[in-house]
């Protein structure tokens, strides 16, 4: 029955997208056959007043009608231009995560249930909500220490949002499975895996203790960095459903007039923002992955304060080296080395030719070298690079896509502050310093040290590995003699799972088809 209800929710979502003109706004003239017929049918069912809106406005209205979980889905898909396309990703990135506030009494109940204490014991004063998003809302409050009041921001989970999200998640998985089954060309994009990533990231975002931990980690990483910080966490007043942190007094980075009125140097802020982001990415391998201007404040002394760390990105040492060598290779026009890095990292399958891949990369790099430095976008370069890798069967790399999305946003903010912003000149001290420290002699020494540690760890595990090898050898001998066998319980479970999957898929398709027929009959 969960598959049936997921099918109905999926049909309702599709109907809302049709009625609000989102489907009609797609480039349907390029389609043919049944998809084009469906697009034309969607245009007939679109509200007339919706046709007057831009596509991004239509999308925003549809997502707001569908609810908080679809706002989060839209924001997540904005990080995956490889899945939805660059134009749609830009539209989704413009979705405003602003929802209606919920009553203060419900927030108080959530805090008391999460922390097991009365709000009056936790806060000297607890105010009304000052901002609301799809998953949580923020209240202003005061805490008392030694008779001194301190203003804090209290983030509280929206009541019922977990139940609603996981209900909608069933329909997301149904859509992903149907897409993989009936649209073979989409399998390279791994829609089910994308949905699993959405589920995991949202689970993390809905546990405010994990956001607090991310703030704490980024705070430790940046404690000595010039001009950048994150709010401190009040752990005594933080739980799964509530996060209490330092109140930030500053001007939001999307308030250009306010920044100018306060006498800030916008060019210096733009440079600081980019260098801070690259420093976190290359040096620490841990970065704020939702750095839109609404989440960035500028204090009176010019320090950038980043809030709302529900989405964070991580890059391993291999990915950081990959990124640095790509950027350095484009700067020095060493396209063969850029291609080799892709193969060394295992991102491009070995059956492809390195020289042919280098030729494709040259097609990206050469036009860039003929442009003024201030017009070259690092984010656009990465976007073009990922488009080329599709031709060489490079599988989706979620960590690199998240990096690309964040770089697009951060670079866009910097260019808003300084239209003549020179990305390469600003990035060079950070990227060049990292390359010198990690790809030169010092880096080789660090790699040798890490290799020695790995060998020592392996040596300690030799007795256990020998025992495992002996057991595995005996099991292989038994399989060679008697063949591979499943016990009766395992075989029965596999049969049941396969039968249930086939039935649920067919049932969902019938539910969707009958619902569409009913909707068409009601309208006609």
Cβ atoms of 233 and 243 closer than 8 Å: yes
To the query of whether residue 262 is one of the catalytic residues in this protein, the response is no
Closest CA to 81 of 326, 340, 396: 396
Rounded Cα–Cα distance for residues 301 and 217 (Å): 24
Rounded Cα–Cα distance for residues 240 and 233 (Å): 14
Tokens of 66: 């569908």
**Over the range 345-371, which residues count as b (16 or more CB within 10 Å of their CB) and which as e?**
eebbeeebeeeebbebbeebbeebeee
Tokens of 310: 């529900």
Helix and strand counts by DSSP (H, E) for the chain: 22, 10
Cβ atoms of 346 and 392 closer than 8 Å: no
Cβ atoms of 246 and 232 closer than 8 Å: yes
**Over the range 214-226, which residues count as b (16 or more CB within 10 Å of their CB) and which as e?**
bbeebeebbeebe
- Beta-bridge mates of residue 145: 148
Q: Which of 82, 234, 241, 290 is catalytic?
A: 290
- Strand 242-246 with 251-252, pairing: unpaired
Cβ atoms of 309 and 430 closer than 8 Å: no
HEC sequence for 230-257: CCCECHHHCCCCEEEEECCCCEECCCHH
Rounded Cα–Cα distance for residues 373 and 13 (Å): 44
Position 229 scores a pLDDT of 95
Position 1 scores a pLDDT of 45
Largest CA distance in the chain: 82
DSSP string over 73-97: HHHHHTT-HHHH-HHHHHHHHT---
Token pair 């399998």 in the structure block, residue? 187
pLDDT in tens, the chain (524 residues): 467 777 788 788 888 888 888 777 776 666 667 767 777 888 888 887 777 777 777 777 787 788 777 777 777 676 666 556 666 666 666 665 556 789 999 999 999 999 999 999 999 999 999 988 878 899 999 999 888 899 999 999 998 888 888 888 888 888 888 877 777 766 766 778 777 877 777 788 889 999 999 999 999 999 999 899 999 999 999 999 999 999 999 999 989 999 999 999 999 999 999 999 999 998 999 999 888 888 899 999 999 999 988 888 888 887 888 877 877 777 677 888 888 888 887 778 888 888 988 888 888 777 766 666 556 666 666 667 666 766 777 666 666 667 777 887 888 888 889 988 877 778 878 877 887 777 655 555 555 566 566 666 766 777 776 777 777 777 776 666 666 555 566 556 666 655 555 555 555 556 555 655 555 555 55
Cβ atoms of 190 and 80 closer than 8 Å: no
Closest CA to 312 of 280, 282, 283: 280
Closest CA to 111 of 162, 165, 164, 157: 157
Spell out the residues 6+ positions from residue 178 whose beta carbon is closer than 8 angstroms to its own. 505, 508, 509
156 class by beta-carbon count within 10 Å (0-12 exposed, 13-18 middle, 19+ buried)? buried
Cβ atoms of 379 and 411 closer than 8 Å: yes
| Polymer length of the chain | 524
């Amino acid at each position: 029955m969960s598959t049936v209800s997921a099918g109905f929710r999926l049909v309702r979502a599709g109907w809302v997208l049709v009625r609000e003109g989102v489907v009609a706004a797609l480039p349907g003239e390029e389609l043919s056959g049944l998809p084009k017929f469906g697009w034309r049918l969607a245009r007939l069912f679109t509200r007339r007043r919706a046709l007057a809106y831009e596509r991004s406005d239509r999308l925003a209205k549809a997502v707001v009608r569908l609810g908080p979980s679809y706002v989060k889905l839209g924001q997540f898909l904005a990080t995956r231009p490889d899945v939805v396309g660059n134009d749609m990703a830009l539209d989704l990135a413009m979705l405003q995560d602003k929802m209606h506030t919920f009553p203060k009494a419900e927030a108080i109940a959530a805090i008391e249930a999460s922390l097991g204490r009365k709000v009056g014991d936790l806060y000297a004063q607890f105010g009304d909500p000052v901002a609301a998003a799809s998953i949580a809302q923020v209240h202003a409050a005061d805490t008392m220490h030694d008779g001194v009041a301190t203003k804090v921001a209290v983030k509280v989970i929206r009541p019922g949002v977990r139940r609603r999200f996981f209900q909608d998640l069933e329909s997301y998985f149904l859509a992903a499975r149907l897409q993989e089954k009936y649209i073979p060309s989409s399998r390279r994009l791994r829609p089910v895996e994308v949905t699993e990533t959405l589920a995991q990231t949202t689970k993390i975002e809905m546990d405010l203790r994990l956001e607090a931990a991310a703030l704490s980690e980024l705070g430790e990483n940046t404690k000595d960095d010039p001009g950048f910080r994150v709010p401190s966490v009040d752990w005594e007043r933080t739980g799964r459903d509530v996060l209490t942190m330092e109140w930030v007094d500053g001007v939001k980075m999307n308030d250009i007039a306010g920044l100018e009125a306060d006498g800030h140097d916008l060019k210096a802020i733009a440079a600081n923002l980019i260098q801070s982001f690259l420093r976190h990415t290359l040096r620490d391998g841990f970065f704020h992955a939702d750095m839109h201007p609404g989440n960035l404040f500028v204090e009176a002394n010019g320090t950038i304060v980043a809030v709302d760390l529900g989405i964070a990105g991580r890059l391993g040492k291999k990915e950081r080296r990959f990124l640095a060598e790509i950027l350095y290779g484009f700067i020095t026009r060493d396209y063969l080395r850029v291609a080799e890095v892709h193969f060394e990292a295992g991102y491009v399958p070995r059956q492809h030719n390195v020289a042919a891949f280098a030729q494709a990369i040259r097609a990206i790099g050469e036009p860039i070298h003929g442009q003024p430095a201030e017009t070259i976008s690092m984010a656009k370069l990465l976007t073009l690079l990922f488009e080329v890798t599709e031709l060489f069967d490079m599988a989706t790399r979620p960590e690199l896509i998240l990096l690309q999305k964040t770089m697009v946003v951060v670079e866009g903010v910097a260019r808003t502050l300084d239209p003549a912003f020179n990305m390469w000149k600003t990035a060079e001290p950070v990227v060049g310093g990292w390359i010198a420290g990690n790809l030169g002699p010092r880096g080789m020494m660090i790699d040798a040290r890490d290799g020695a540690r790995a060998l020592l760890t392996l040596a300690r595990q030799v007795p256990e590995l020998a025992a495992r090898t002996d057991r595995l050898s005996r099991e292989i001998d038994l399989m060679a003699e008697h063949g591979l066998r499943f016990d009766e319980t395992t075989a029965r479970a596999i049969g049941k799972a396969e039968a249930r999957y086939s039935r649920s898929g067919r049932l969902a398709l019938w539910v969707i088809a009958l619902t569409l027929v009913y909707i068409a009959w009601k309208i006609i």
